[in-house]
Structure formats: C-alpha cells, structure tokens
Chains A and B, each alone.
Chain A
Amino acid sequence: MRFLKPVTNWRRRVERRHAIALVSAVLVLAVVPFLLPAYPLALLTLALAYGLFAFGLDLGWGRAGVISIGHAAFFGIGAYGAAIAVNTGMPIAIGVAAALALSALVALGIGRVGLGGRALASTMAVLTLALTLLAEQIARSWLDVTNGSNGLFVPSPGVVDNYYRTAIVALVVVTAVWYVALRGPLGRRLLAVRVNEQRTEHLGVDPHRTKTKVFVLSALVATVAGSAAAPVIGLVSPATAGIVMSTQVLVWLAVGGRGTIIGAFLGAGIVTIGQEYLGEAIGSWYLLVMGVAFILVVRFAPGGLVGLATKLRSSPLARSAAQDALIVSDRTDADIASGRSAAAAGGSNFDRFRQDEEMSIRNPIDLDPAALSLQDVTKSFGAVPVVRGVTLNIPAGQIVCLIGPNGAGKTTLLNLVAGDLPVSSGQIRIRDREVTSSSAHERASLGLGRLFQIPSIYQELTPAQNMAMARAEAFQLVDLPEELERFANNSDVLTQDLPLADQRALELAMSIAWGPEIVLLDEPAAGLSHEDSVRLAQTLRIVNRQLGCTLVIVEHDMDIVRQLADRVVVLADGMVLVDGDMDEVSAHADVRNAYLGAV
C-alpha cells in the first residue's frame, strides 16, 4: 500500500544544497590522502569508521529518541564478523553478511520488547546495557572463535587503501540511508514520532513499528561501521563490543550534535583525534575531561557543537525544525484513493457527500447504518466504574454533542472510542468493523480523527509542516475549507509560539486535512474567547456540511452546543441520561438535576 518510490522521487528528495554537499564531500575525501602524512591519515580513517558508528546511533537516538546505551554490541558484532572471516580464511563478505543478519535479529528482538507501548521508558536502557555487557562477556569467553581477551588480528591492506575503503563505505552507507530512509517516509515518521507520538498515532502511524524499524536500521549501520573499522583498528578485542566503547559513541554524538549527519562525524573526529594527541599529554585524564564535556553538553547544550553553530548561523526555521526530513507524501493521489478504499472496506460515504453536498444530512433515515456504534461499553479504573454501560449509534454525517457534569465519563468515553484506553467490557464498531481491541493507530487508519483537550500538535514544527505531515499521512484527499487553509503556508513560526486559539485551530485544520470520516473532539472551545468559539462552531458546521464528517464533540459551552448539535447526548455517572435534540435535553428535569446536583 505504502510503497517506497525512491526513483520517481529523487528530484524532490535531493535538493541543490544536498547535491553540493555530496559532491564536496566526495572531492574532499578523495583529495585528503594526497595532503596528509600516513599517521594522521590512519587517524582520519579511524575517525570515519567511528563517525559512521555514531551516525548509526544517531538514527535511533537523535532522530527517534530511541535510547541505546549499549550500541557497541552491534559495532562489535560487525568487527568480529569481519575478523572471524579473515582469520578463518572465509571471504570477508560472508562474515559481514552473517554479522548483519545477527545484528538485525538481535535488534529486532530487543526493539519489539523494549519499544512496545506498555514498556517502561527505562527498559531500552536496561536491555541495551545488558546486551553490551553480554557481548563483551561472550567475546571474552568464547575462546575457539574469538580468541578470548587476546582478540583477533585483522591485517591492514595499507594506510591509503584502508582509507579509501573506509571512506567509500561511509559515504555509500550514509548517502543510501539518507536518501532512502531519512528523506523518505521513514524519516518523516521518525520526526513525527519523536516530536509528538500521540498525534502521530492518531494520524494512523504505528509508533512502535516505526521505532523498531529505525532501531534495526541503526544497529545495521553500527554493524557495517564495525566491519569497516576492523582492519583499521587492527586488533578486534572484547572491548570493541563493550561498555567503554558504548559510552564513547554516546559522547561523540552528544558532543557533535544529535540529529545531524555532520554532528556524528564531527563529534567522532574531534574526540578520536583529540584523544590521540591530547591523550599522550594528559593520559587517562583525557577521558575524564570528555566525561565532563558530556555532562556539560547534556546539561547546557543539548544540540552539541552543531547545535551551537546553527544558533549562530541563522538557517531557515523550517529546515532546522525538520532535521532534514522531507514532509511530503510519497504516494500519488491514486495510491491514497486505493489505500482509503482498502482501509474503508465497507465503502466510504465520502464521495457520495461530495457529489451531493446539498442533500439533507440532517435526516438520519437517509444515512448509512452507524458510522460509529458502541454496544454496552464499560470502563473501570481499578474498582471505580467510570463508564457504566453506554450504548450509542451515531449515523454518518451527524454532529453529536456529549455533555454532562464533571466526572460523568465524557473524556473517558472518547478515549475508549479512539483506542487510547482499553474498554473493560462491551463492543465498539467503526462502520461495520469491530475495533474493540484495535490499537489507536489501527482505528485511525479506518478514518477516525481525534482532537484533544490540550491541542496535540507538532509543537517543534512550523504550522505548514504540521499540515504537510497530516497530508502526507492522509486517509483521503480533501479540499480544505478556506478558514482552515491559512496554516498551510505559514513557515515563519514554530507552532509552540502560536496563541492557544491558533493552536486549536491548527489541530482542527490538520485533523481535517488528514481527511477523516469521523472526528472526535474534546472541548474544542475550552479557553477560547466568545468570538473565537463562535467562529470555531461555524467552521465545524462547514466541515460537517462540505466534507460529510461525522463529529462527536464533548463540550461545555452551551452556546456552541446549541449552534452545532444535531443531537445531544447527556452523560451522567457514566451512563446515558438523555439522548435527543437540544430542546428535549434542556427541558428534561433530570438534566437540570444532574448539573445542579440533586442535593
């Protein structure tokens, strides 16, 4: 469904500045051996291999916030793969291939377990730490294969050969990963997951899968780096896979700057070369100084050297925000259309609404069977029941407002429908699809959009990038009502600097641009001035009329409810108290009692 189309997209992915950077990198790397004496060249070779390793770590840590404090395990697997192949007379390619396969397998296992939605955030730290300790232990004790603490000797083909080999590997790997992954859908999703996992999930992207993918990729790059480094280091010992090495790579990346290619190589280069020259003078104090530098960077300059440099040199806001990810859809319109119909599976109401905008959507008899239906849904937190048996059928195209006193279970009910909370019992269906046990992103990919009490948007991106992200992951293509279009060209600010009313409007705009069939809104007017809330209500009406979206709105502002609701559902004490139009509801004595407290 979502195929990579690297070839057709190359013009979009490679901008002029990228081509210039690549060409200059090739030229510089090609010329260097003619300028440098042997020893510095050997050091530079090592720095390149280490830089590639740091780049690998950066894919996970810098781009997706996936922490690995034992990444040297993968580097070690690569180094040993090459070393064992050389020492047993096998072609080196077989050793490297085996190492890659092993790394992928291990990373996949750890990622699946440690990056799951329910796993604690510290789990990855523990697992990767244990992994590096284990790798070092195995390398030390598996004498027949690894030669224990003495390590394996890998002959060097000569300084210059070694240099070119390493440089080519680094260049090819970085360029390929950059082009295929970072500039492709994966890069976009990594950015999305790192900046706002919740919103990304409600755009139908599986965050767990995305993070696991990048962790595997990150492990693979580290493995390649290890293989490339083996002949440069000369002696592959257990420390290659061990804790000190794992520590070092974190330092390189932190010092250089996370989330950038140049930062990984710069950090590795400075620290490695510095260690060689300064290490002579101040001995083991050097690493101590690096440790202090690491703390200072974490504490005061999370962006590292590159971060400091970009602060001084003003680059376009949008570009630095996106970490060079390309936020556009890789799919053609036809892809989206077919993807939607595949996802919808029961047929969408969308087209019909578009053809017949004027049709009377207020008459429920004309409509399809329920867009959303809840059957006896309950939810308890521990022993406390919050939702106690709610049955609701919401026809497509209807605007339903959920009201009720505090603690009635309104937000909880939305969370149950959206998949942010599991139900205790009961059944939820979206169209004719049973989704009771589906995760939030699975439900989203059936066309379910969601807005939160506190706007959930990509705070660290610009409004235009927010809109682009929603469109890139779109469920279906829509023509956005004018009022919501205004964000699409706003690249001058980060959304975190917008006032609340605009943040809310943006959340609505991106959710609608994503093309949902059903939208859940939790107090969209809270904190808005009267004028803003009136405008919001008008916009919601337009969205409903023009696009045929089914809206389920939790709202306390009765002016809005009166303007909007086709139907009002009053929840009290976790149950439906009254279900009808506004007049019926306000006339109902129980409702007054529920609000005023029948004390």
Chain B
Amino acid sequence: MESLVSLLLSIFTLFGFYSLLAFGLGIIFGQLGVVNVAHGEFVMVGAFLMYAMAGIPFWPRLLVVVLLGLALGVITERLVLSRLYARGFLATLLAMWGVGIVLRQGADAVFGSTPASVAAPISGTLDVLGVQYPLYRLVITVIALAVVGCGLLLLYRSNLGMRIRATVDNRTMASLLGIPPTLIITGTFATGTGFAVLAGALQSPMLGVTPGVGVSFLAPAFFAVLIGRPGSLSGPIFGALVVAILSTLLRTYLNETVAQLILFALLIILIAVRPNGLSWRKPQWKIAPAVPATRNGAPA
C-alpha cells in the first residue's frame, strides 16, 4: 500500500514537471514548426537564475526569473529564429542547437561545472496516506499543473487564445482576419521558453544544477510531444502523463540504464508504428456520410 502511494506520488510530481516542459515544447513545435532542441537549456537557465539571485526571497525571485525567461525567449526568437523559418526546419533546429550550446557553455563559463544548489523555500513533509512526502514537491507540482491548466484555459477560453489557435490552424487566414502573425509567433515562442524556465526554477531545489543538467530533460519532453500527436496543443500533456508513468515505473523496478534502454526502444517502436503520433482524441461521432451526387449541383 505504502509503496503504491509513494509510486503514485512520484508519478504525480514527475507529471507536473514534464507537463510544463512538454507544453512549452509542444506549443513551440505546433505553432512555429521549430524543433526546439534548446528547450532543456532553458530549463537549466531557469535553475541557474534561481541560484544566481539567491539573495531575493524565493517567490518574488521566481517571478523575476520567469520574466527574464520571457525576455530570453523574445530575444532568441527575434535575433536568431525570425529570418530562418523560410529556410525550413533543419535551419531552425540547428540554430536552436547553437543557442543551446551558447547557453550551456555560457553557464559553464559563469558558474563552472560543480553542481550548484538552491534552497527550497518550504521544508518539512506531508503525511499522504501514511507516506511522508516532501511538502515542497507537492507544492511545485500543484503550481506546475495549475500553470499548465491556466495555459490551457487561456488557449481555449480567452480571446487571445482563440487568436493563437487560429494562427496554428491557418496562418494565412488568421492574418487575413487581422491577426498579426509575427506578434503571435514571438509571443508563443516567449511563452514556451517561459514555461521551460519556470519548470527549471521550480525544480531547482531538487537538482544539482550544472550546465549539462538540461540536456537530459529534452528527450522525455520530446517523447511526450511525439506521443501526443505533434501539432496539437493539449496532446503533449497527455504525453507527459504517459512518460511520467513509464519512466517512474521503469526506474522503480529496473536500474537507470535498462530503464532508459527500454524507453528508447519504446520510442522507436512508437515512431515505427505511428509516425505521426498517437491520435488520442475522442472518436468523432458525427462523420458526415459520403452523400452521393448532391453537392455542387452535380450534373443530372
């Protein structure tokens, strides 16, 4: 019983972290068609910023870090990406890889490679059905899921979100209806970056923060996006859940390497079977029947 509860709690906390990552990665991919291979580095930046500004109390610091993250996103998009879209996904992928190198090496040059640590603002544990679980982990998971939830609400319930989805659906038509695509694109990239930075900042007390810490987050986040049908906006969150369950289970019962090997094998199988990701949408009930010979005033 207790082991089951702690397993579920691990899945829950990992899901919170991954969903924040995958959501950010997913909107950048879905919206811009950019394979953001620097996503892990943005996470790392978030963690290091928390470390660097240790003088400021935790929660205000978090806010500052997220704002800096958004700024980083705007700068990256305007400076590096904006003229590359036309050259195709390979160019943007490589450019983002370059951004990743710069961030990684920049952190290495500034902070060195010894793991840095960030103090958690909340200590103590909470008793969950007989399992003593660190309170901070639960709090940040709730925050992460709340942020993702707000993000989805914003996307699906607000005017701005409607415009963003419209741009995803059909960029040309959106601009014909007066929605400026460049603004939406920069905004979306910055938001995706902001999510990654926030994830890193929240997670920082649990990490030994090193310049290379981000890279290892990229693969699971990508896995989540691939599972959730790339291009869909809420799909990655479902993907994050699958990845969180799989990796927690595998890591609990197997050693790290075997777990990673199996995950990799599963990834390959998934891509082989479903190159375009899993479609997990509700089945569509109202499929219009193929009406013969009535449309377009067909010849008699």
Q: Could you tell me if B109 and A302 are in contact, using CB atoms closer than 8 angstroms?
A: no
Does A287 reach chain B (CB closer than 8 Å)? Answer: yes
Within 128-146 of A, Cβ neighbours of B (below 8 Å) are at 129-131, 133-134, 137-138, 141-142
Q: Could you tell me if B299 and A577 are in contact, using CB atoms closer than 8 angstroms?
A: yes
- Using A120-B275, A251-B101, A284-B109 as known contacts, say yes or no to A125 and B288 having CB atoms under 8 A apart: no
Interface string of A91-129 (1 = CB under 8 A from B): 000000000000000000110111010111111011101
Does B27 reach chain A (CB closer than 8 Å)? Answer: no
Does A244 reach chain B (CB closer than 8 Å)? Answer: yes
Does A32 reach chain B (CB closer than 8 Å)? Answer: no
Q: Could you tell me if A295 and B98 are in contact, using CB atoms closer than 8 angstroms?
A: yes
Q: How far is the CB of B29 from chain A (nearest CB, A)?
A: 7
B residues within 8 A CB of A388?
292
Residue of A nearest to B35 (CB): A122
Does A243 reach chain B (CB closer than 8 Å)? Answer: yes
Does A572 reach chain B (CB closer than 8 Å)? Answer: yes
Q: Could you tell me if B275 and A129 are in contact, using CB atoms closer than 8 angstroms?
A: no
Q: Could you tell me if B298 and A243 are in contact, using CB atoms closer than 8 angstroms?
A: no
Q: How far is the CB of B231 from chain A (nearest CB, A)?
A: 9
Contact with A126, one of B226, B293, B297 (Cβ below 8 angstroms): B226
Does A306 reach chain B (CB closer than 8 Å)? Answer: no
Residue of A nearest to B269 (CB): A113
Does A593 reach chain B (CB closer than 8 Å)? Answer: yes
Q: Which of B2-10, B58-66, B89-97, B244-252 contacts A (4 or more CB under 8 A)?
A: B89-97
Once bound together, how far apart are the Cα atoms of A93 and B97, in whole Å? 36
Residue of A nearest to B299 (CB): A590
Does A156 reach chain B (CB closer than 8 Å)? Answer: no
Q: Could you tell me if B290 and A380 are in contact, using CB atoms closer than 8 angstroms?
A: yes
Within 36-50 of B, Cβ neighbours of A (below 8 Å) are at 37
Interface string of B246-268 (1 = CB under 8 A from A): 00000000011100110110011
Within 42-69 of A, Cβ neighbours of B (below 8 Å) are at 65, 67, 69
A residues within 8 A CB of B105?
284-285, 287-288, 290-291
B residues within 8 A CB of A294?
94, 97-98, 101
Does A186 reach chain B (CB closer than 8 Å)? Answer: no
Does A597 reach chain B (CB closer than 8 Å)? Answer: yes
Does B230 reach chain A (CB closer than 8 Å)? Answer: yes
Does B151 reach chain A (CB closer than 8 Å)? Answer: no
Q: How far is the CB of A406 from chain B (nearest CB, A)?
A: 10
A residues within 8 A CB of B216?
133
Within 108-157 of B, Cβ neighbours of A (below 8 Å) are at 108-109, 112
Residue of B nearest to A123 (CB): B271
B residues within 8 A CB of A285?
105, 109
Q: Could you tell me if B267 and A130 are in contact, using CB atoms closer than 8 angstroms?
A: yes
Once bound together, how far apart are the Cα atoms of A564 and B29, in whole Å? 48
B residues within 8 A CB of A40?
none
Q: Could you tell me if B101 and A290 are in contact, using CB atoms closer than 8 angstroms?
A: yes
B residues within 8 A CB of A385?
290
Q: Could you tell me if B101 and A247 are in contact, using CB atoms closer than 8 angstroms?
A: yes
A-side interface residues, number (CB < 8 Å): 61
Q: Could you tell me if A119 and B109 are in contact, using CB atoms closer than 8 angstroms?
A: no
Interface centre among B29, B98, B112, B230 (most CB of A within 10 A): B98
Q: Could you tell me if B296 and A298 are in contact, using CB atoms closer than 8 angstroms?
A: no
Q: Could you tell me if B93 and A142 are in contact, using CB atoms closer than 8 angstroms?
A: no
Contact with B83, one of A284, A299, A383, A593 (Cβ below 8 angstroms): A299
Total A-B contacts with CB atoms under 8 angstroms apart: 156
A residues within 8 A CB of B261?
134, 138
Q: Could you tell me if B93 and A295 are in contact, using CB atoms closer than 8 angstroms?
A: no
Q: Could you tell me if A129 and B219 are in contact, using CB atoms closer than 8 angstroms?
A: yes
Contact with A122, one of B93, B223, B296 (Cβ below 8 angstroms): B93
A residues within 8 A CB of B37?
69, 125, 129
B residues within 8 A CB of A587?
none
Q: Could you tell me if B257 and A291 are in contact, using CB atoms closer than 8 angstroms?
A: no
- Using A120-B230, A299-B83, A383-B287 as known contacts, say yes or no to A129 and B299 having CB atoms under 8 A apart: no
- Using A141-B255, A288-B106, A573-B296 as known contacts, say yes or no to A109 and B276 having CB atoms under 8 A apart: no
Within 323-353 of A, Cβ neighbours of B (below 8 Å) are at none
Residue of B nearest to A109 (CB): B268
A residues within 8 A CB of B256?
137, 141
- Using A118-B275, A125-B37, A572-B299 as known contacts, say yes or no to A288 and B102 having CB atoms under 8 A apart: yes
Q: How far is the CB of A17 from chain B (nearest CB, A)?
A: 31
B residues within 8 A CB of A69?
37, 93, 97
Q: Could you tell me if B91 and A298 are in contact, using CB atoms closer than 8 angstroms?
A: yes
Contact with B99, one of A290, A295, A599 (Cβ below 8 angstroms): A295
Q: Could you tell me if A291 and B272 are in contact, using CB atoms closer than 8 angstroms?
A: no
B residues within 8 A CB of A130?
219, 222-223, 263-264, 267
Does A435 reach chain B (CB closer than 8 Å)? Answer: no
Residue of B nearest to A424 (CB): B290
Within 202-219 of B, Cβ neighbours of A (below 8 Å) are at 212, 215-216, 218-219
A residues within 8 A CB of B268?
109-110, 113, 127
Contact with B94, one of A114, A116, A283, A298 (Cβ below 8 angstroms): A298
Contact with B276, one of A120, A129, A137, A599 (Cβ below 8 angstroms): A120
- Using A120-B276, A288-B102, A299-B80 as known contacts, say yes or no to A125 and B296 having CB atoms under 8 A apart: no
Contact with A287, one of B93, B101, B276 (Cβ below 8 angstroms): B101
Interface centre among B84, B91, B257 (most CB of A within 10 A): B257
B residues within 8 A CB of A254?
94
Q: How far is the CB of A206 from chain B (nearest CB, A)?
A: 17
Once bound together, how far apart are the Cα atoms of A285 and B112, in whole Å? 11
Q: Could you tell me if A121 and B264 are in contact, using CB atoms closer than 8 angstroms?
A: no
- Using A137-B260, A573-B293 as known contacts, say yes or no to A593 and B89 having CB atoms under 8 A apart: no
Q: Could you tell me if B257 and A597 are in contact, using CB atoms closer than 8 angstroms?
A: no
B residues within 8 A CB of A299?
80, 83-84, 95
Residue of B nearest to A388 (CB): B292
Once bound together, how far apart are the Cα atoms of A385 and B104, in whole Å? 52
Does A274 reach chain B (CB closer than 8 Å)? Answer: no
Once bound together, how far apart are the Cα atoms of A597 and B84, in whole Å? 44
A residues within 8 A CB of B91?
298, 302
Interface string of B3-39 (1 = CB under 8 A from A): 0000000000000000000000000010000010100
Q: A121-B90, A126-B219, A129-B37 are in contact. List 6 more A-B contacts (CB 8 A).
A: A65-B90, A121-B89, A130-B263, A133-B260, A288-B101, A291-B102
User: Top 7 A-B pairs ranked by shortest CB distance?
Assistant: A291-B101, A295-B98, A291-B102, A288-B105, A287-B105, A118-B275, A294-B98
What are 18 A-to-B residue pairs whose CB atoms are below 8 Å? A67-B94, A69-B97, A109-B268, A113-B272, A116-B272, A119-B271, A122-B35, A123-B275, A125-B35, A126-B222, A130-B264, A130-B267, A138-B261, A291-B98, A294-B94, A295-B98, A302-B91, A598-B299
The chain A residues found within 8 Å of chain B, CB to CB, are: 65, 67, 69, 109-110, 112-114, 116, 118-123, 125-127, 129-131, 133-134, 137-138, 141-142, 243-244, 247, 250-251, 254, 283-285, 287-288, 290-292, 294-295, 298-299, 302, 380, 383-385, 388, 407, 572-573, 577, 590, 593-594, 597-599
